[in-house]
């Protein structure tokens, strides 16, 4: 009996998530109503409210799921090891590819602007800590600046890659990001 309930809950949440992503492609979260979400997901409002308090809560849950997945991926690698850094970037790019519809929507003009900042801060906090441990510098601000530069650029590269229909493989994108991060523009020669 419990597994049937779990499957129904998962199905309901999946339908609501998909409905939200579909609506976010057309308009901002502030323009989306619970009534629209329920109609598109083909569920009633009381079911919606048994899972989420409003459309913002649903969006937050979707974003938190991605942040949690990103944290788990980052924590399982050591950036100080060159091969592990590339593997980590490739895993993140593969995750973005596997969830391309959601990621592209959340990074779009209709997505939550604070989400991109949160993704950047998670990656920034992880990379600064790792770089500081691996490459200690006299001025910690330099590591912070380098990290913000690399992460901001990487996120923008992934956004464009998604908009271009993922015209390169995740492995190729990971190599581009890794080379630009570690060697700068000279890696393109």
- Per-chain mean pLDDT for the chain: 85
DSSP 8-state class, residue 108? S
Q: How far is CA 145 from the centre of its chain?
A: 21
Q: Is the fold of 2-56 the same as that of 59-188?
A: no
CATH for the 2-56 domain, from 3.30.70, 1.10.3470, 1.10.10, 3.40.1350 = 1.10.10
Cα–Cα dist 151/128, whole Å: 11
Angle formed by the axes of helices 2-24 and 34-41, nearest 10°? 120
Cα–Cα dist 153/182, whole Å: 13
CATH (residue range 59-188): 1.10.357
Cα–Cα dist 159/107, whole Å: 7
What residue spans define the domains of the chain? 2-56, 59-188
Q: Which pLDDT does position 82 carry in this prediction?
A: 60
pTM: 0.79
Two tokens, residue 121: 């801060």
> For 31-61, how does the pLDDT look when each residue is reduced to its tens digit (9 = 90+)?
999 999 999 999 999 999 999 999 999 999 9
Q: How far is CA 144 from CA 29, 93, 150, 189, in A?
A: 32, 23, 10, 27
Q: Give the confidence band of 79 by pLDDT, cuts at 50, 70, 90.
A: low
């Amino acid at each position: 009996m419990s597994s049937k309930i779990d499957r129904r809950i998962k199905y309901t949440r999946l339908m609501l998530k998909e409905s939200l992503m579909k609506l976010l492609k057309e308009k901002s979260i502030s323009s989306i109503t619970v009534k629209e979400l329920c109609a598109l997901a083909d569920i009633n409002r009381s079911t919606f409210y048994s899972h989420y308090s409003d459309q913002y809560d649903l969006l937050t849950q979707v974003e938190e799921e991605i942040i949690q997945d990103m944290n788990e991926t980052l924590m399982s690698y050591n950036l100080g090891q060159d091969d592990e850094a590339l593997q980590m970037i490739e895993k993140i790019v593969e995750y973005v590819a596997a969830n391309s519809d959601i990621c592209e929507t959340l990074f779009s003009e209709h997505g939550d602007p604070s989400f991109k900042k949160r993704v950047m801060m998670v990656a920034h906090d992880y990379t600064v800590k790792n770089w500081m441990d691996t490459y200690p510098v006299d001025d910690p601000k330099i590591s912070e600046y380098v990290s913000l530069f690399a992460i901001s650029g990487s996120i923008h590269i992934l956004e464009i890659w998604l908009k271009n229909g993922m015209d390169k493989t995740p492995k190729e994108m990971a190599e581009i990001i890794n080379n630009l991060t570690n060697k700068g523009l000279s890696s393109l020669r």
